[in-house]
Structure 1
């Protein structure tokens, strides 16, 4: 045996005839396929190519998106409409507030004018009252002797104010007694007793004691009876300050040159001499 017999041969094994035939067949098939493909390509190159575009189908998801978009648009429109309504309401409110402010200013101005007019009227009344006091004070007795009728006359002009010391009788005594009993009570505007009075309320209540119904206010009371001279006063006569029919204060003459009246909130009901606040005139009811 040869010494190399156990070493494998490095020679490539011979290919069998069947293997060669198979490979030849595959190669031939490939060439045939290429030939057919080439021919087909040439034929296709000669003809125009037409492309067909297919529109997307409206799916359920797309329909939902469209509906949602419509809802959003509707909500936005509603929101704009609501905002427009709010803006219109705000503009209307601002307009009304402006009108109300103008009306309030107008009323305030009118009230101011009325207050100023009332103040002027009161000032005029005070001035008239002061002038009347000055005029009447000049006629008050300053030293003349008593007359036979127990009256004191005064003034170079011959005018006089009665200060009769005679005692009131009958109805006059009842009136005088009533007003004197109220001395010390409070003055309250509009007061008609029993513990607070204004001037005309006190006079009216005094004459009710003798069943005489007087008007409620000073202006009417100053013309309720017969006008009498201040030089011929009797107890029970009604004194007034201001003009007859336009008096702003009244009281009751009680004799001895004294009167009783509800003067003001500072003094209340007091008895004072005529010189304290000389009256403008007097009326006699009894």
Structure 2
């Protein structure tokens, strides 16, 4: 025995049986609980549990909305692409139209220039021809006498006498006598005196007979101004380089030398 065993304050107090029993009970309960948990864990480990999760209905709606949004985006992109292609085609067409218009304008300008040059050439040729005719006429009538003589006979004499008798009468457009005439009205009425029916207007009278040279005129020949078939004035050659015609409202019917207003040509119907 320890030498301090008899000292009361140094001895450990004994535990009561009830206290030991309670502790043993608690320990047993804990061990039982662990045993049950272990058994449960073993059972769970041996048999895996399969669980089925159901997505909420809201998830399906979101998926549908996402799909619709994707479709809308794709359609918008397709629309933008189509519009871009249309814009590009329109721009190309506008550019081509502009080029075609410019080319058409150039061709039109070239055609107009060519036509003007051709008209100028023809006009120059016509002026040269008229000048040549007038030069010849001046040379042949310088003495006031036609190369074919100045004495009218037969029907020609009657035509010359008639037109000379009308000198001094008024010029009225459309008139055919007896107090007034226009140029073709005087010629038509004069030839009517000898039984010859002439067209009414100067254009037709300039082709009513045989074309004759101005250097070979005879009394009674019809003189015309302008082109044959498009004449704008007519008169009657009366010989000696003179003609009688209804000139205009200011001068009326009068007799003038060929140099007063040189004619373009002449026709013979007698």
TM-score, normalization: structure 2?
0.55
- Residues 270 and 121 of structure 1: CA distance in aligned 2, closer, same or farther (over 3 Å): farther
Give the SS at the match of 1:214. coil
Structure 2, unaligned runs of 5 or more: 1-16, 153-157, 176-181
Alignment of 1:240-251 (within 5 A): 240=224, 250-251=233-234
Match of 1:276 among 252, 256, 260: 260
Match of 2:171 among 181, 195, 219: 181
Larger helix percent = 2
- Cα shift at 1:51: 8.0
Q: What CA deviation, in whole Å up to 9, does each residue of 1:33-61 have, x standing for no partner?
A: 455546666x4897697887968566223
Tell me if structure 1 keeps the 8 A contact 2:206–2:267: yes
Give the SS at the match of 2:121. helix
**Separation in structure 2 between the aligned mates of residue 35 and residue 249 of structure 1, nearest angstrom:** 143
TM-score, normalization: structure 1?
0.53
In the alignment of these two chains, the number of paired residues is 230
- Residues 69 and 282 of structure 1: CA distance in aligned 2, closer, same or farther (over 3 Å): closer
**What is residue 219 of structure 2 aligned with on the other side?**
233
**Separation in structure 2 between the aligned mates of residue 208 and residue 27 of structure 1, nearest angstrom:** 162
Q: What CA deviation, in whole Å up to 9, does each residue of 1:144-186 have, x standing for no partner?
A: xxxxxxxx438xxxx378599x99544x4687677x515xxxx
Q: What CA deviation, in whole Å up to 9, does each residue of 1:109-147 have, x standing for no partner?
A: 3333222211110111111112222222233335xxxxx
- Residues 136 and 31 of structure 1: CA distance in aligned 2, closer, same or farther (over 3 Å): same
**Separation in structure 1 between the aligned mates of residue 244 and residue 77 of structure 2, nearest angstrom:** 88
The worse-fitting range, judged by mean Cα deviation, of 275-284 and 125-134 is 275-284
Match of 2:236 among 253, 278, 281: 253
**What is residue 110 of structure 1 aligned with on the other side?**
111
Tell me if structure 2 keeps the 8 A contact 1:133–1:277: no
Question: Is 1:125–2:126 an aligned residue pair?
Answer: yes
Give the SS at the match of 2:140. coil
**What is residue 214 of structure 1 aligned with on the other side?**
199
Tell me if structure 2 keeps the 8 A contact 1:175–1:207: no
**Separation in structure 2 between the aligned mates of residue 90 and residue 270 of structure 1, nearest angstrom:** 70
**Separation in structure 2 between the aligned mates of residue 79 and residue 268 of structure 1, nearest angstrom:** 82
**Separation in structure 2 between the aligned mates of residue 77 and residue 278 of structure 1, nearest angstrom:** 82
Q: What CA deviation, in whole Å up to 9, does each residue of 1:167-222 have, x standing for no partner?
A: 9544x4687677x515xxxxxxxxxx559xxxxxx64444455664427564x534
